[in-house]
């Protein structure tokens, strides 16, 4: 008990220390930004206060939340389609050697295609519709999810499959109780990567092939040389991704994988 308490006691100041370090880093960046903004024109580097006012203004007008939501929904849509196609595809390719060998070259090829190329194809095929960014997110996320699930199936312990056989599990039960939990960590890291990439490429897609969303608004602002707005959109979306990471992904990961040995101790 006393050992556990000692670890807990040493961890709290460590957490506090990290938080202080993060705040200090943010403060330094802000100061540097402000100093640079003093010696440059506003259309090159607007000062932090002006950007903050712009964020407040865009939020108050509803422009910011609605476009943020539009982009987020597109990313989620593309991501979910990638999961729905990619998980079964990865399972099939991982469990069937012949199919796996046959389709193996497809993934590296898909991975080398730049998302800008997907965006151009998407515009040709879907025009300026929401389908364009969704398609680009899908094509970026899909190979990541397939690859990771595929790798996960390779990592399933044959001993556990034998255990399921000795316990007379049906195929469906073996899949659900042995394969899926074994693959979950691989799926999770793939999905996490896919969502992050998906968000970034959705902005690219929106700047060239959409009439709404964060990417579209950023291009519009840059066309009108409203640099303060470009900064405002950038900061808001970074903040959003941080919030998703800290409030959603990290707690989810902790919950799903709490059975893992804690490597910190």
Partner 1 sequence: MHDERLDVRVTGESAARETAPAITFDAISKSFTRPGGKPLEVLRRVGFVVPRGTVVAILGPSGCGKSTLLNMAAGLIAPDAGSVAVMGRDIAAGTVDWSRVGYMFQDDRLLPWRSARQNVALALEAGTMPSRERIARADAAIDLVELAGFAGAYPHELSGGMRSRVALARSLVGEPTILLMDEPFSRLDAQTRSAMHRELLRIQALRQMTILFVTHEIEEAVVLADQIVVMAPRPGRIRTEVAVTIPQPRIGAAATTALVNELRQSLGEAEPAPENHP
- Give residues in contact with partner 1 (CB under 8 A): 159-160, 162-163, 165-170, 173, 177-178, 181, 184, 257, 259-261
Q: How far is the CB of 95 from partner 1 (least distance, A)?
A: 19
DSSP one-letter code for 260: S
Closest to partner 1 by CB, 84 vs 167, is 167
Closest alpha carbon to 108 in 144, 137, 135: 144
Answer yes or no: are the C-beta atoms of 153 and 91 closer than 8 Å.
yes
Element (H, E) at 119: helix 115-126
Nearer to partner 1, 109 or 166 (CB): 166
Nearer to partner 1, 98 or 112 (CB): 98
| Residue appearing with tokens 């964020």 | 55
Shortest separation between residue 13's beta carbon and partner 1, angstroms: 26
Of 41 and 258, the one with the shorter C-beta distance to partner 1 is: 258
What is the closest distance, in whole angstroms, from the C-beta atom of residue 163 to partner 1 in the complex?
5
Q: How far is the CB of 184 from partner 1 (least distance, A)?
A: 8
- The distance of closest approach from Cβ of residue 170 to partner 1 in the complex, given in angstroms and rounded to an integer, is 8
Q: What is the DSSP string of 142-179?
A: HHHHHHHHHHHHHTS-HHHHHHHHHTT--HHHHIIIII
CB of 260 to partner 1, least distance (A): 8
> Sign of the C-alpha dihedral, residues 11, 14, 16, 18?
negative
CB nearer partner 1, residue 17 or residue 173: 173
The DSSP secondary structure of 188-252, one letter per residue, reads HHHHHHHHHHHHHHHHHHHHHH-SSSHHHHHHHHHHTT-HHHHHHHHHHHHHHHHHIIIIIIHHH
Q: Which is nearer to partner 1, 136 or 156 (CB)?
A: 156
């Amino acid at each position: 008990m006393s050992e556990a308490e000692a670890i807990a006691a040493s961890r709290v100041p460590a957490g506090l220390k990290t938080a202080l370090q993060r705040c200090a880093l943010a403060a330094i960046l802000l100061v540097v930004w402000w100093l640079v903004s003093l010696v440059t024109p506003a259309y090159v580097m607007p000062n932090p206060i002006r950007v903050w006012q712009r964020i407040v203004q865009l939020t108050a007008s509803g422009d910011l939340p609605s476009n943020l939501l539009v982009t987020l929904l597109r990313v989620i849509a593309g991501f979910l389609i990638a999961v729905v196609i990619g998980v079964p595809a990865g399972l099939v390719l991982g469990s069937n050697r012949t199919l796996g060998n046959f389709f193996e070259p497809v993934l590296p090829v898909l991975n080398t295609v730049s998302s800008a190329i997907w965006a151009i194809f998407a515009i040709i095929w879907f025009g300026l519709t929401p389908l364009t960014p969704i398609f680009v997110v899908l094509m970026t996320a899909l190979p990541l999810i397939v690859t990771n699930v595929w790798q996960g199936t390779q990592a399933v312990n044959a001993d556990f499959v034998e255990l399921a056989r000795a316990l007379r599990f049906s195929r469906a039960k073996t899949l659900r109780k042995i394969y899926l939990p074994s693959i979950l960590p691989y799926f999770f890291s793939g999905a996490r990567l896919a969502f992050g990439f998906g968000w970034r490429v959705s902005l690219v897609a929106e700047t060239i092939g959409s009439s709404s969303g964060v990417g579209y608004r950023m291009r519009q602002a840059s066309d009108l040389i409203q640099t303060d707005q470009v900064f405002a959109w950038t900061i808001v979306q970074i903040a959003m991704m941080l919030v998703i990471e800290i409030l959603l992904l990290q707690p989810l990961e902790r919950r799903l994988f709490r059975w893992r040995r804690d490597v910190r101790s």
